[in-house]
A = this chain, B = another copy of it.
Amino acid sequence: MAHQYHPLGFEGSRIAQGYWRLAEWGMSDQELLSFIEQSIAAGITTVDHADIYGDYQCESLFGRALALKPSLRDKLQIITKCGIRLPSKNRPEIASHRYDQSVQHILQSVDNSLQNLKVDHIELLLLHRPSPLMDADHIAEAFEHLHTVGKVRHFGVSNFNPQQFDLLQSRLEMPLLVNQVELSPLELKHFEDGTLEHAQQHAVTPMAWSPFAGGDMFRLEGINPTLFKALTEVSEAHNASLDQIALAWLMRHPSGIAPVIGSGSIERVLSAQQAQSIELSDDQWFAIWVASKGHPVP
C-alpha cells in the first residue's frame, strides 16, 4: 500500500492520519497506542503532526504512546510542521501569534518535535504557512542543515501558492515533495488558482487538509443541498458513505492528492482507508464538481 509521494523519494500511505485534534480525544497512552497499531494494521502508516497542534501538546501525547512500543517507530512515516508561533500557557515566551521562519526557530522547533515525539528523525518536515516575511535563504539554510545532520529526511510546504513554492524551491538543492492545502468537494479554490496544475507539473504531491471541510461534509444536507444530492447519488451507486466518496473524489484527481483525515475513531479510519478501492467514473466526478460549483462546466 506504499504510495510514492515524489519521483525522488518518500514512500508513505496514500491517506495520512492527522493528529491535530488528538488532545481532544481523551485517550490514555495505552488507548492511543492501540489506535496507532490498528491504523498501521489498516495500512495508514503516515501520521501528520505540527508543533502547534493541541496547544503544543499533540506531539508529546503521541510520543508517550509510541514510547510504550518503540518497535512501531519504523512502521511509521512522521510528518510534522513548523514556522508558526502561537501564544500558549505552554509557551509563555511567545508574545504574539505570528510566523517565525528564522534558522534558529526552525532548528529549535524540530528539536522540540523530536524530543516530544521521542524519535531521532522525522520523515517529512513542512513549513506550515507562507510568511509575508519569508526569507527563502534562511529557510533553505535550515532545511539543508536538518537534512545533513539526519534529523529530517524530506521537506515540503503547506498552504503555499505557486509563486511562494517557486521562490523557496529556487534556493534548495532538494525537491520540495509536498504542498499540504485545503481541498474538498466543498473547497474548490485550489483546483482553480493554479496550485494543482503547479503540483502536477512538478510532480509535487498535494496533501488535502480538511477533506471533509471541517466536518461540513457530515451536515451537508443543510449546507449545500445540491452537493448533498450529488454526493448521495454517487455514494449509493458505490454503496459507500459520503465521506468515503469525498476521499475517492479527491484521490481521483491526476495530481495524486493524498488526504489527511483527522478522526480518532478507528471505524472512521478504516472507512477512509477503504475509500481507496472506490473508483469514481468521470461522470460521477463531474457530477460532484458541477454540484459544488452550482453551474455546468463551460
Contacts and interface: CB of A to CB of B under 8 A. Distances in A.
A264 B164 CA distance: 38
A192 interface: yes
A222 interface: no
A252 B102 CA distance: 13
Nearest to A136: B200
B162 A282 contact: no
A132 B192 contact: yes
Interface string A199-229: 0110000000000000000000000000000
Given A163-B194, A166-B201, A167-B197, A96 B287 contact: yes
A198 B170 CA distance: 11
Contacts of A129: 297-298
Given A132-B188, A132-B253, 13 more contacts: A98-B297, A99-B286, A132-B191, A133-B285, A134-B197, A134-B254, A135-B254, A163-B197, A163-B198, A164-B197, A166-B197, A167-B200, A170-B201
Interface of A: 84, 95-100, 102, 129, 132-138, 159, 161-164, 166-167, 170, 188, 191-192, 194, 197-198, 200-201, 252-254, 282-283, 285-287, 289-290, 296-298
28 contacts: A84-B297, A95-B283, A96-B286, A96-B287, A97-B297, A98-B283, A98-B286, A99-B286, A100-B282, A129-B298, A132-B188, A132-B192, A132-B253, A133-B253, A133-B254, A133-B285, A133-B286, A135-B200, A136-B200, A136-B201, A136-B254, A137-B254, A161-B194, A163-B197, A164-B197, A166-B197, A167-B197, A167-B198
